[in-house]
């Protein structure tokens, strides 16, 4: 019998690809996408529900399944401030993880960031590291954390800085010692996440950049 996967951040550069690939995966029967706005998908496996992320407790019953893919994220510029970004990148995701854990979700899969560290002086890396540490305390039987570098792919809104970086970084990262900063496509991260979700794994796993790339 196939499993049920919950996906937040289902319209983002990684989440969208996760949903597409889960729809083709034999080990998944049902995909629950939780979004702010309607997010239709052609697969009959996908069930979309609209939620208010500021009132997640009211939707607690939606966080029932076998695995949770946490792909939510924003930028400081899009959010308007570091504090507002923290609400999306840390507070919302942590609350979702808490509800999923309480509902018995077995496997939690998180898109984090290369360099994530709760003690970092960088606000973004600090919140990512803080989320990782707090999730590990929730008691999920299995946690898989993916730490890509700059994510590239189709977005609903063009991010100029990322567009420039994605063009420049591949050349810069040919310099010895800088390989770990090379960009990675959202599709590649999604492929690794879905692959990991289909296999038996350790209670806690972290995948850094080179471990996310899948050899064809």
Phi-psi domain of 207 (left: phi exceeds 0; alpha: psi -120 through 50; beta: other): beta
Give the closest residue to 28 by CA, choosing from 60, 73, 69, 87: 69
Once rounded to an integer, what is the mean pLDDT over residues 51-65? 97
Can you give the CATH number for the domain in which 113 is found? Answer: 3.40.50.720
pLDDT at 163 over 90: no
**What distance in Å separates the CA atoms of residue 189 and residue 14, rounded to the nearest whole number?**
7
**CA–CA separation, 165 and 152 (whole Å):** 9
State the pLDDT at residue 155.
42
Within a domain: residue 85?
yes
Per-residue pLDDT of 16-46, as tens digits, reads: 999 999 999 999 999 999 999 999 999 999 9
Tell me the residue range of the domain where 109 lies: 3-152+184-209
Question: 105: pLDDT confidence band, cut at 50, 70 and 90?
Answer: very high
Catalytic residue numbers, as ranges: 124, 128
Does residue 168 form part of some domain? no
Per-residue pLDDT at 38: 95
Structural domain contains residue 177: no
Q: Does residue 134 fall inside a structural domain? A: yes
- pLDDT for position 212: 72
Domain membership flag for residue 172:
no
- The count of structural domains within the chain is 1
> What per-residue confidence (pLDDT) applies to 210?
73
Let me know if residue 121 belongs to a domain.
yes
Residue 161 belongs to some domain of the structure: no
Q: How far apart are CA 58 and CA 184, in angstroms?
A: 36
Residue 144 domain-assigned? yes
Residue 203: CB atoms within 10 Å? 10
- Pairing, β 67-70 against β 107-111: parallel
Residue 53 has pLDDT above 50, yes or no: yes
Mean pLDDT in residue range 195-203: 96
**Average pLDDT score over residue span 133-142:** 97
pTM of this structure:
0.86
Whether the CB-CB separation of 119 and 126 falls below 8 Å is answered with yes
Q: How confident is the model at residue 122 (pLDDT cuts 50, 70, 90)?
A: very high
């Amino acid at each position: 019998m196939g499993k049920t996967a919950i996906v937040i951040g289902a319209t983002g550069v990684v989440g969208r690809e996760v949903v597409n690939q889960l729809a083709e995966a034999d080990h998944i029967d049902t995909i629950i996408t939780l979004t702010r706005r309607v997010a239709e998908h052609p697969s009959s496996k996908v069930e979309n529900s609209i939620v208010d992320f500021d009132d997640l407790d009211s939707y607690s019953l939606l966080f029932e399944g076998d695995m949770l893919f946490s792909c939510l994220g924003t930028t400081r510029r899009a959010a308007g401030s570091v504090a507002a970004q923290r609400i999306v990148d840390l507070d919302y995701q942590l609350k979702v993880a808490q509800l999923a854990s309480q509902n018995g979700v077995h496997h939690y899969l998180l898109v984090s960031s290369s360099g994530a560290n709760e003690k970092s002086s960088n606000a973004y890396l600090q919140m990512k590291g803080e989320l990782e540490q707090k999730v590990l305390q929730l008691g999920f039987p299995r946690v898989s954390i993916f730490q890509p570098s700059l994510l590239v792919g189709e977005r609903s809104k063009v991010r100029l800085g990322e567009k420039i970086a994605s063009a420049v970084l591949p050349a810069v990262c040919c310099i010895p010692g800088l390989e770990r900063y090379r960009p990675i496509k959202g599709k590649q991260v999604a492929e690794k996440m879905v692959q990991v979700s289909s296999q038996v794994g350790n209670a806690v796993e972290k995948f850094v950049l080179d471990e996310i790339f899948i050899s064809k």
